[in-house]
Amino acid sequence: MIDSIKVVAFDADDTLWENEPLFREAERTWAGILKDYGTLEELSARLFEVEKANMEDYGFGAKAFTLSLIETALKVTGGNLTAAQTAGILAAGRSILHNPAKPLPGVAETLAALREHYPLVLLTKGDLLDQEHKIERSGLAPYFSRIFVVSNKSDREYRRLLHDLSVAPDAFLMVGNSFKSDIRPVLEMGGWGIHIPFHVLWELERTEEYDHERLFRVSRFSDIARCLLP
């Protein structure tokens, strides 16, 4: 059945390059600034609740995260956030925007091999400018025939993508580290998935995983070629 696949799409953050660890480092810096108001675990729990509440308005990405850092800091300090603390939090958030987007081991070589057999598509969610910068820094853009940056990855976005690509669900395969965003929606609409977990996962991306006849699981990016190439 794998012969039916006509297009292979890839997630970007924490699939092609490291991203989530930068958020966690910024969060630790933020918690250090607010150490008088709680432990890292306590402050992170407060932050997560604010992030969830802000998702509909802010979406995903470093800028949305930074706004949530500031809002949570205002809440935990009772509005007594100093200018120096605010500047420190902004600097922590800005550091995420400087992600070098260095491709993870095996990424460039595997994309080069796959491109000889499939049209490759990049599908990433988040802030448009930030994602464009990371794609440019990575040097991976030439491997992809199309690049899409979306605000979210749900059934709606995937169906729009398939319409734009003029491809049927059973001819589409998605590769990504998030089962919730990259794999589950594609399986549910009749597509294929390759799940390649990353060692750090944002709490909001956690979900119950399951096995499926159209799902492959790999531990290294280079293993993707074994799944798709003759």
Domains located in the chain, CATH noted: 2-17+101-228 (3.40.50.1000), 20-96 (1.10.150.240)
Q: What's the chain's Rg over C-alpha atoms?
A: 19
pLDDT of res. 1: 55
Looking at residue 93, what is its pLDDT? Answer: 95
Query: What confidence score (pLDDT) does residue 63 get?
Result: 95
pLDDT value of residue 206: 80
Task: Identify which of 97, 106, 112 has the alpha carbon closest to the alpha carbon of residue 64.
Answer: 97
| Nearest alpha carbon to residue 178 among 142, 157, 202 | 202
Which phi and psi angles does 222 have, rounded to 5°? -65, -20
Of all residues in the chain, what percent are helix, strand and coil, respectively (each to 5)?
A: 55, 15, 35
What pLDDT, on the 0 to 100 scale, is given for residue 96? 96
Work out whether the CA dihedral 154, 170, 229, 210 comes out positive or negative.
positive
Helix or strand run (H / E) with residue 170: none
Of the candidates 163, 164, 185, the one whose C-alpha atom is nearest the C-alpha of residue 173 is 185
8 Å CB contact between 34 and 73: yes
pTM: 0.92
Cβ contact 194:220 at 8 Å: no
pLDDT tens digits in sequence order for the chain, 230 residues long: 578 899 999 999 999 999 999 999 999 999 999 999 999 999 999 999 999 999 889 988 999 999 999 999 999 999 999 999 999 999 999 999 999 999 999 999 999 999 999 999 999 998 999 999 999 999 999 999 999 999 889 899 999 999 999 999 999 999 999 999 999 999 999 999 999 998 888 777 888 888 899 999 999 999 999 889 87
